[in-house]
Amino acid sequence: MTRLLAVALVAAWALLPTAATAHEGHEHTIMGIVQKTEDGRVEVRSKDEKSGKETVLSIRLDEKTEVWRGEAKAVPADIKTGERIVVKYVTAKAKDGQETHTAKQVRLAAPTL
Amino acid sequence: MSRALRCLLVVFAVLTAGAVAVAVLAISRGVSAREAPGRLETYVARNLRHLAIPAGARGMANPLPASGAVLAGGLAHFADHCAVCHGNDGSGDTAFGRNLFPKPPDMRRKATLGLSDGELFYIIEHGVRFTGMPAFGDGTDESARDTWALVHFIRRLPELTGDELARMRSLNPRTAEEWLQEEEIRRFLSGDDPGPTPGGHQHRNPGEDR
């Protein structure tokens, strides 16, 4: 009986989902100017054309984030303060309501000739 | 009560308790597709899929050579048909892929690359029941050629270059809205557009990101 119980417990553990990660939904896009880059993050300042209201969004860059300069692959270190940037990102909301933005794709202007 | 009957009763009780536990778990979690299947479920499902593919199909060899033209055809086909869920790089990290149940596998890993050519062909042609994987084959020679080209391309996924990914991005299907957004991004990055605007919430083909 003890063995059966052990098997049942192992089976129940195995049935549990492998990852209870924060939920990511739709992708968002922000177009703006790089205000700051620091270890694994980029701050993007954007301005609403209609209201003129400025917003600054801090977005995490992880190992899966693709960085493109024009049509060429780049790396996060290539992102420079003050340049134009387009970031496609997802937002995950923790239980405490805290939102985390994670970049899926970063696009930078192609180098000028 | 005989020993055999007692054993049967114990087995029945354990199975019933297990079924109730699974039912309670399923009901308490609802029908959300957000979570990933458990380890046992994944293990059982993968083995059932393996067994469900006829031995003859599993042993089929790819009749196409892995030539540049075949790989280019596979790349274009993958970008157009598969990337929406699997991503251009095969990671499955797309808006659809992340939110399917079960999630598409990272095709650059052993769970996919360890399958035989015949298994990959069979899965693409016939799909996988109870997953998001449709049956793409129609039984024609043309369909089979396209699928075998995809099999060659899938083997190349771990080594895709930046140029190949850029080519795939240009081939990903887009809606009219996505074309407009792409044009807006191009203008913004090139400096034609005077100022930055905050992005909007988008519901678009996520395959083009990869």
Q: Provide the 10 A C-beta neighbour count for residue B50.
A: 12
> Beta strand pairing status for A99-108 and A66-69?
parallel
Contact A46 B198 (CB under 8 A): yes
Q: Identify all chain A residues contacting B189, using CB atoms and an 8 Å cutoff.
A: 84, 86, 107-110
- Structure confidence at residue A7 (pLDDT): 57
- Structure confidence at residue A11 (pLDDT): 54
> Beta strand pairing status for A66-69 and A54-60?
unpaired
- Structure confidence at residue A18 (pLDDT): 46
Where chain B has pLDDT below 70, the residues are 1, 193-210
Per-residue model confidence as pLDDT tens digits over B102-136: 999 999 999 999 999 999 999 999 999 999 999 99
Mean pLDDT of A14-30: 62
ipTM tops the 0.90 cut? no
Contact A18 B39 (CB under 8 A): yes
Host H or E run for residue B85: helix B83-86
Distance (Å) from the alpha carbon of A79 to chain B's nearest alpha carbon: 13
Mean pLDDT of A50-79: 92
- CATH homologous superfamily, domain A24-108: Nucleic acid-binding proteins (2.40.50.140)
DSSP line for A82-105: TSEEEEEEEEEE-TTS-EEEEEEE
Mean pLDDT of A29-52: 91
Q: Where are the domains of chain A?
A: 24-108
- Structure confidence at residue B22 (pLDDT): 76
Q: Mutation target for B interface from A7, A18, A31, A89: give the one with most B CBs within 10 A.
A: A31
Per-residue model confidence as pLDDT tens digits over B53-63: 999 999 999 99
Residue of A nearest to B185 (CA): A86
Find, among B122, B128, B167, the residue nearest to B45 by Cα.
B128
Q: What is the pTM of this model?
A: 0.73
